[in-house]
Amino acid sequence: MTTHLARPIVVAGAGVAALLIWLVQGPLTGMDLVVRTGNGVTTVGPAAVVITSLAAGLAGWGLLALLGRLASRPDRA
C-alpha cells in the first residue's frame, strides 16, 4: 500500500476508532462524557469526538509532510 493511500486511511480510521471508544464509554455504559468549561458543563457528543480526532490526525499528517520536505534525511528523522 502506498503512503498516498495509507495516510488518509489511517486518519479516517482514527476518527472511527475515537467514535467507537466514545460509543463504548458513553451510551453503552450509560455515562455521559462531560467537560467543565469556565462556569458551565458541556456534554461531549460524537461530532466533537470525530472532529477533534480528524483535526489531530490531519495536523500530524501535515507536520509529517513538512518534515519530509524540510529535513535532509526525513526517513531517519
- What is the domain partition of the chain in residue ranges? 3-70
Report pLDDT digits (tens) over 25-64: 888 888 888 999 889 999 999 999 999 999 999 999 898 8
Q: What is the pLDDT of residue 13?
A: 95
Res. 1: pLDDT tops 70: no
Q: What is the pLDDT of residue 20?
A: 94
Answer for the pair 11, 61: CB distance below 8 angstroms, yes or no.
Answer: yes
Q: Three-class SS of residue 37?
A: strand
The secondary structure element, H or E, covering residue 8 is helix 3-25
- Provide the CB-side half-sphere exposure for 21 (13 A, CA): 10
Q: Three-class SS of residue 34?
A: strand
Average pLDDT over residues 22-26: 89
pTM (two decimals) = 0.80
Q: What is the pLDDT of residue 71?
A: 83
